[in-house]
C-alpha cells in the first residue's frame, strides 16, 4: 500500500511538471525554434523567435494568462512568436498573468520586465517589418500590399522620440489590419515577384 501511495505521489509530480512545461511560453517558443530550424528557415520569423526566446530567458520567464497562452501556442492563428508580438501590441500588459510572491522586489521586477517588453513592442514590430521588406524584390513591395504600413511606419519614424511607446500603438484597428495582411505574407511575396518580373520584362522590351 505504501508503495502504491509513493508511486501515485511520484506520478502526480511528473504530471504537474509536464503540464507546467506544456503551458510554458519559453517551451512553446523553443518548439517553434526547433520547427524553424528543421525547415532551415533563418529569415525574419526566425530572428523574431530568437528575440523573444532571449527576452523570456533573461527575464526568467513571462507567464501568460491561460486564454492568451492558448491563443498564441495552441490554436495558433499565427506562429507563436508572431502571435505573441500581435498580442503585445494589441492587448499589451493584459496578456500577462499576475504572480504571487512574498518578495516585493521580485514582483516589481516581474512587472517591470513585461512592461518593458510591451514598451519595446513597437520597435520590435518595426524591425520585423524592415526585415520582411528586405526579403522582397523591390523597396515598396510591402507598402503596396499592406497600405496600413505607411501610416504606422511614418508615425514610428518621425514621432517615436516625441511620444511614449504605447502612444504609437493606440490605433489597435490599424495594427490588427497589418497583422491580418501578414497572415498572407507568402502570397504577398509571390505578388511582388510577379510584378518585378513584369517590370523587368517591360524594361527589356523597351531596350
pLDDT digits (tens, 9 = 90+) for 23-68: 588 999 999 999 998 888 788 999 999 999 998 888 777 889 999 9
Average pLDDT for 141-146? 88
pLDDT at 197: 83
**Residues 111, 101 contacting (CB under 8 angstroms):** no
Asked if pLDDT for residue 18 goes beyond 70, the answer is: no
| Of 48-62, 83-97, 114-128, minimum mean pLDDT range | 48-62
Hey, which residues does 64 pair with through a beta bridge?
96
Please state whether 150 falls in left (phi above 0), alpha (psi between -120 and 50) or beta.
alpha
64 vs 139, higher pLDDT: 64
Hey, which residues does 184 pair with through a beta bridge?
none
Asked if pLDDT for residue 15 goes beyond 50, the answer is: no
DSSP assignments along 13-56, one per residue = HHHHHHHHHHT-HHHHHHHHHHHHHHTT--SHHHHHHHHHHHHH
Q: Please, which pLDDT band fits residue 155 given cuts at 50, 70 and 90?
A: confident
Hey, which residues does 96 pair with through a beta bridge?
64
pLDDT at 169: 80
Asked if pLDDT for residue 70 goes beyond 70, the answer is: yes
**Residues 73, 28 contacting (CB under 8 angstroms):** yes
pLDDT at 28: 93
Residues above pLDDT 70, as percent of the chain: 86
Q: For the chain, what is the mean pLDDT?
A: 82
Please give the distance of CA 123 from its chain centroid, rounded to a whole number. 12
Average pLDDT for 3-20? 40
* 110-114: Cβ within 8 A, 24+ apart: 110/59, 110/60, 113/59, 113/60, 113/62, 114/59, 114/62
Task: Kindly report the pTM of this predicted structure.
Answer: 0.82
Q: Which three cell numbers stand for residue 119?
A: 514598451
Q: Please, which pLDDT band fits residue 207 given cuts at 50, 70 and 90?
A: low
59 vs 13, higher pLDDT: 59
pLDDT at 143: 86
Helix (H, G, I), strand (E, B) or coil at 162: coil
Q: Please, which pLDDT band fits residue 81 given cuts at 50, 70 and 90?
A: very high
Amino acid at each position: 500500500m505504501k508503495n502504491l501511495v509513493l508511486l501515485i505521489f511520484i506520478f502526480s509530480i511528473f504530471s504537474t511538471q509536464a503540464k507546467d512545461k506544456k503551458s510554458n511560453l519559453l517551451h512553446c517558443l523553443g518548439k517553434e525554434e526547433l520547427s524553424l530550424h528543421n525547415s532551415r528557415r533563418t529569415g525574419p520569423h526566425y530572428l523574431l523567435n530568437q528575440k523573444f526566446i532571449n527576452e523570456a530567458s533573461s527575464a526568467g520567464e513571462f507567464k501568460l494568462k491561460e486564454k492568451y497562452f492558448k491563443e498564441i501556442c495552441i490554436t495558433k492563428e499565427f506562429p507563436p512568436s508572431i502571435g505573441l508580438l500581435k498580442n503585445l501590441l494589441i492587448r499589451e500588459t493584459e496578456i500577462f498573468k499576475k504572480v504571487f510572491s512574498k518578495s516585493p522586489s521580485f514582483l516589481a521586477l516581474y512587472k517591470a520586465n513585461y512592461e518593458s517588453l510591451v514598451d519595446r513592442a513597437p520597435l520590435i514590430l518595426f524591425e520585423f517589418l524592415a526585415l520582411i521588406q528586405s526579403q522582397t524584390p523591390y523597396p515598396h513591395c510591402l507598402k503596396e500590399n499592406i497600405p496600413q504600413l505607411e501610416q504606422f511606419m511614418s508615425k514610428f519614424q518621425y514621432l517615436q522620440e516625441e511620444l511614449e511607446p504605447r502612444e504609437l500603438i493606440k490605433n489597435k484597428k490599424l495594427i490588427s489590419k497589418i497583422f491580418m495582411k501578414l497572415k498572407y505574407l507568402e502570397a504577398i511575396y509571390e505578388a511582388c515577384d510577379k510584378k518585378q518580373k513584369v517590370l523587368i520584362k517591360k524594361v527589356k522590351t523597351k531596350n
